[in-house]
Amino acid sequence: MKHTQLYIGGTWRDASDGGQFAVINPMDESHLADVSSATVTDALAAMDAADAAFKDWRSRSPRARGEILRRAFDLFTQRLEDFARLITLENGKARLDAVGEATYAAEFFRWYAEEAVRSEGHMGVAPASGARTLVYQKPAGIAVLVTPWNYPAAMATRKIAPALAAGCPVVVKPASETPLTMLALMPLLEEAGVPPGVVNVLPSRSSGAVVGAMLADPRARVVSFTGSTQVGRKLLHAAADTVIKPAMELGGNAPFIVFEDADIDAAADGLMVAKMRNLGEACTAANRIYVHAAVEAEFVEKYTARMAALKMGDGLDPSVDVGPLVNAETRDKVAAFVDDALQRGAQLKLGGECPKGPGFYYPPTVLTNVPDEAECLKDEIFGPVAALQNFTDEDEIIVRANQTEYGLVAYVYTGDMQRGLRVSEQLEFGMVGLNRGLVSDPAAPFGGVKQSGLGREGGKEGMLEFMETQYISTNW
């Protein structure tokens, strides 16, 4: 599955200047592959290929597009283990997380195979003139997709599948840490029947220039980005110049609230998922954990025991729960968050010591009494560190939970559903996990408010990001 060249118009090619960059295995820091690094010339070639493919793709029947997507789901499911292995090799996540991602990634093809045929419009009568208005959705045009390294497959299929269902061709710029998974997907899409030029992939170390050139091209009509808020802002500025439709899935700083009436075992299990899924390298990861003072001691004991039971090691080993972080920079940032919290007076219950390596490992870590000023409460930890605080009052904790510029997801555990819904409604987050540590679902609209983003992925909503409304006014 080792493709390392650019994929443009259904063919593999080197970068126009022959440039390459290295992809590293985070488990042992060994060299995995040299991958072609797209240039601005390549980016414009990909736009040409997408443009050439657009007319045919948009005019295929929704059912025909849906059936290709369905075949992509079947093929992905057959090759799940191969994809999981490649994800582990380039990202480091443990096998179970990689299988989880591959399953989730495949599911977007199935969901949008089913949604492709449900493009609905409506008809009305204009109040003054009596003219008939026919309202429907059309494919928006070429979509530029930019994805992060934390889910090398799923963050891309969550964009590719709805774009294709809508009738749009795409150019994907995968993260430089993890381009191999996206390249490996291309032969599968070919086999499923995706025509040349409908999906193009441009790994590149010059992401700013390459994505910038595509957004300056008037043929680009959508930019769908998943990544940091910092880069998202840059792309929003670039999209403003050509008035391109933006979809932004940005950072998060999720609160995880455990009320005194919660099932403590269920809450501890839920936090294992919300914190440790993908080793904490998720925008949805619980980042600020608030436990009611009356149940804090019990919760800390139960949660710490669960964290202590995790086995860290080579992600390909099926008995391992916790692989390495993606790179040295991410590992060092996590270590710095822990050191900062400890210096400010937090208590260390577990972990906190960075192994020597090789590999970018950091152990499951539990901190309690983390002071408000700690950096790890303000910024995304993006690692296996649980930062706990306590609280006593419902109104107070809602205010604290909302005190962030982010608004992606919040988690609430309580035995009282009335309270759960009351609190959930007051949380300024695009998604709430109520007595659940996992919200991601291809059938539901994933996305954030405030500086966590614009637009939604998954569900019915995800396809609308790649469509424009048109209405025809007529009389008969």
* Residue 249 is among the residues annotated as catalytic for this protein: yes
Instruction: Tell me which of 115, 249, 296, 321 binds ligand NAP, using CB under 6 A.
Output: 249
CA distance 105 to 91: 15
Q: Which stretch binds ligand NAP (CB under 6 A): 60-68, 174-182, 299-307, 415-423?
A: 174-182
* Residue 67 is among the residues annotated as catalytic for this protein: no
CA distance 43 to 201: 9
- Nearest approach, Cβ of 181 to ligand NAP (angstroms)? 13
Instruction: Tell me which of 37, 88, 150, 224 binds ligand NAP, using CB under 6 A.
Output: 150
CA distance 435 to 414: 7
Q: Should residue 148 be labelled a site residue for ligand NAP when binding is judged by CB under 6 A?
A: yes
How many residues make contact with ligand NAP (CB under 6 A)? 29
Among residues 376, 324, 352, 64, the alpha carbon closest in space to that of 192 is found at 64
Strands (E) located in 19-63: 20-25, 30-36
Question: Looking at beta carbons only, is 38 or 194 nearer to ligand NAP?
Answer: 38
- Whether 270 and 413 have beta carbons less than 8 Å apart is answered as yes
Q: Should residue 173 be labelled a site residue for ligand NAP when binding is judged by CB under 6 A?
A: yes
Q: Which stretch binds ligand NAP (CB under 6 A): 93-101, 113-121, 148-156, 337-345?
A: 148-156
- Please identify which of the residues 90, 249, 457, 465 carries the catalytic annotation: 249
Position of minimal CB gap to ligand NAP: 227
Instruction: Tell me which of 26, 100, 246, 251 binds ligand NAP, using CB under 6 A.
Output: 251
Residues of 299-328 as b/e, b for ≥16 C-beta within 10 angstroms?
bbebbbebbeebebbbbbeeebbbbbbbbe
- Whether 464 and 454 have beta carbons less than 8 Å apart is answered as no
- Nearest approach, Cβ of 149 to ligand NAP (angstroms)? 5
CA distance 412 to 41: 49
Q: Should residue 175 be labelled a site residue for ligand NAP when binding is judged by CB under 6 A?
A: yes
Question: Looking at beta carbons only, is 255 or 453 nearer to ligand NAP?
Answer: 453
Among residues 154, 203, 175, the alpha carbon closest in space to that of 8 is found at 203
Kind of pairing between the strands at 20-25 and 30-36: antiparallel
Instruction: Tell me which of 77, 228, 327, 403 binds ligand NAP, using CB under 6 A.
Output: 228
CA distance 161 to 165: 6
The dihedral region occupied by 282, where left means phi > 0, alpha psi between -120 and 50, and beta the remainder, is: beta
- Whether 116 and 63 have beta carbons less than 8 Å apart is answered as yes
Q: Should residue 278 be labelled a site residue for ligand NAP when binding is judged by CB under 6 A?
A: no
- Nearest approach, Cβ of 147 to ligand NAP (angstroms)? 6
Lay out the site mask for ligand NAP across 394-413 (x = CB under 6 A, - = otherwise). --------------x-----
Task: Show contacts with ligand NAP in window 356-395 (CB under 6 A).
Answer: 380
- Nearest approach, Cβ of 287 to ligand NAP (angstroms)? 10
Task: Show contacts with ligand NAP in window 64-93 (CB under 6 A).
Answer: none
CA distance 433 to 267: 11
- Enzyme catalytic residues: 249, 283
Report the interface residues with ligand NAP, using CB under 6 A.
146-150, 155, 173, 175-177, 205, 207-208, 211, 226-228, 231, 234-235, 249-252, 283, 380, 408, 448, 453
